[in-house]
Structures are given as C-alpha cells and as structure tokens.
Amino acid sequence: MPDESELMYDVVIVGGGPIGGRTAELIAKAGHSVAILEEHGSIGEPVQCAGLVTPRVFDIVDFAKPSMVNMVRGAHLHSPTGQELTIDGGMTKAVVIDRQRFDGLLIKRAVESGAELICESKVTGIEWSGRSWQVDARSRLECKLLIGADGSGSRVRGWLGIGEPEFMLTGIDAEVNGVDLDQGYVHIFVGGEVAPNFFAWVIPAGDKTRVGLCTRDSEKPLTHYFDRLFMQGLSGDILKGFEIVTRSSGRIPLGMLERTYADGAMLVGDAASQVKATTGGGIYMGLVCAGHCAETAIKALEADDTSERTLAGYHRSWTGDIGGELRKCLMLHRILSTTSGKDLEVLFEVFGDEDIIKLINEQGDIDYPSRLAWALLKKEPRLVKYAGKYFRHLMRRV
C-alpha cells in the first residue's frame, strides 16, 4: 500500500465513532473512497456514554444488535424529597448497549463496505484550496470532501468557524459491580442538589450497573454531585454494596447550530450538536443525520460540486426531518431547568395521577418526547403554568 501522504480520498471523516462509521459505510457503499481518521489506538475508547438507546436504533443498524446487553421497559423517577413515580411501558422501551462493541460493529461494517480506518491519527490542521482539503494528521492527506464527526468538542467545527452549541452539559459516568437491580427499570434522580439543570441515572446493564449524572452551569465541581450521589444516600439502598470498576467523563452539546456545512465540509453527530436536550442522547438522532449527510455527499461527489451552496442541502434535509423535535427538546430542557425544587414536588404529585401515568406509559418516547409533552398539556391544564414560567423567565433575560 502506498504511504498515506500519497493518498487522495473522495472523503475524509474525522472521528471513528458510530456516527462517523455509519456515514462512512453509506458513502463507501456508493463506490467512493473514504478514510476514517481516529485519534485513539482503538475504536470505542474512551467510553463517554450511558449507552441507553431506543429499539429504533436497530431499525437503522440491525447488524449492531449483538451489542445489546439489556432491555428496559420502564423507569423509577425520584424527586428531591424522595417521592417516586414508576413508569412501565409494558414492553421494551429502551435498550442498554455495550458502546465499545456497538462502535466497533459500525466501524467494521464501514471497513467491509470499502472505507479505510486509520487509527492513532489525530488531525492537527486543515486547509481548503478551493477545490480540495489538505488534512494534517499522522501524515498529510487530501480529499474532496471533509466530514467532521469528532464529537462535542469538535476541532473541525472550530476550524470551519461554524459556531458553537448554545449549551454544554458536563457528565460523569461509572460502571459498578455488586448492585442488585431489577433489570427492567432504570432509576432517574432530579433536582438541583442532585444534578443542577439535568439529572442523575442508575442503569442496569447485565452483570454491571451504570451510574452517572450531567449538570449545566453548576457552581460546584461535577465530582461533588457524583460523590454525593454515592456517599450521601441520595440513591437510597439502590447502590448498597457497590464497587466502582471504571469511571469516565465527557461533554454533551445542546442547541442546534445555525449551519452544519461549509465549502467542502459538513458536520454530523455531536460535532453538529444533533443531540436531544431532554436526555443528552445523540446516537439515534446522529444515525438519522448520518443518512442525510451521506446522501448529500454522494450527490455532491457525483456532480463534482462540493460547494457550500450544494452542501447546504444537507442542513435543510436533516433539520426538515428532526430539527423540529430537537428545538422542542431544547424548550422542554429549558422549562425543566428553570423549575424549582418545590415545583418539581408538585409535578411529581400531578404525574402520580392514575390517568397521567397511563398516558405516559402509552405515549412515552425517549426519541420524540414532545409528542408526550403535548398530550400531557392537553390532558392536564395545570401543566401550562410551568411552560408559562419558562417564557416569563426568558422575557426577564431579554
């Protein structure tokens, strides 16, 4: 094989995560040369994800089903004062995956489709000539089209000058042994003393349990809340007898970018902030957008036109598909993040109504939460005031 510095690719994808892998697979299948540049020595490291997705992820990548480690049907929600609500969908509502294996399966499929994976290849700079990109990594590569799939802190996004997400969550996650949980239910803890502006979780994952939280605009270090979750009994007897096996941290972008393209370049996945602000999850939405990104890339390469004007079609297509839901998710996030502890307790009482629980069980959807939110507003008019509080809060900031 010739030296990497002598190679010219149709597409270079920066980032060997699942979204970059899926994008590479689709473009390579269309007959175009694709290189995936991954800065780490192996795929799926470090793991920075709780690994909870909906089954519809496997409608897109059914070959990745071997990565499933558990199926979840419901959740126990815990208020700041210890009120508990149990949501039970009566069927599998979410799937816990082994992220390292999941990522590996998507990259393996991309390579089998003709893409080339180059590990230990951190990109240190890019330069646009007007017709192609020069990409400085382990060696210098050239490509007609550059795709940034390099996560929340995307260097490609920064180099392109596209702008930054509106918010950044900071998160910490651990795998623990010695916890005996009902495998069918996750535990969610809310409140400013638990995880300011977001929530904490306990997720059964087969022979291990995943425990973590995310915060936004916190005055205290993330570890303060993490240690408190474990050490001060916020999780009751759930984590009794635990032993931490691994621990990791990361950031999650929230808020859609005004554009996700430039001359000869596109962003996809967390790099493009294609993330649900209600849960911080980006795998399903990222896979959806990978399809739009690949479709636009293939058309642009076939027309030999990777101009900004042509690639703008990608932004229109993915925002037309899921942009509305991402905007609604951000609105819901803002409402919940401005809800006080006292109001949270009232909400738990409202949601404890038998008819409301039934509605949540029937219509709850992690990927499209706005559908349930609208149904709840129609069912329970008392909830309108919480949306009103958010809008009044916004007006005071203007």
pLDDT tens by residue, 57-106: 999 999 999 999 999 999 999 998 889 999 998 899 999 999 999 999 99
- 179 pLDDT band, cuts 50/70/90, is confident
Reported pTM:
0.92
Residues 137-157, mean pLDDT to the nearest whole number? 95
Residue 318: strand, helix, or coil: helix
| CATH number of this structure's domain 68-97+168-254, picked from the four choices 3.30.70.20, 3.30.9.10, 3.40.600.10, 1.10.510.10 | 3.30.9.10
pLDDT tens by residue, 329-346: 999 998 888 888 888 998
The yes-or-no verdict on residue 53 having pLDDT over 80 is yes
Using alpha carbons, select from 317, 309, 302, 318 the residue that is nearest to residue 11.
Answer: 302
Does the domain formed by 4-48+99-165+257-323 have CATH 3.50.50.60? Answer: yes
Q: What is the DSSP string of 235-254?
A: TTTTTTT-EEEEEEEEEEEE
The yes-or-no verdict on residue 141 having pLDDT over 50 is yes
pLDDT tens by residue, 220-278: 889 899 888 876 544 556 766 678 888 888 999 999 999 999 999 999 999 999 999 99
Residues 130-159, mean pLDDT to the nearest whole number? 95
Q: Where are the domains of the chain?
A: 4-48+99-165+257-323, 68-97+168-254, 331-397
Residues 318-332, mean pLDDT to the nearest whole number? 95
**Alpha carbon separation from 302 to 106, 130, 135, 208, 305 (Å, rounded):** 25, 18, 22, 47, 8
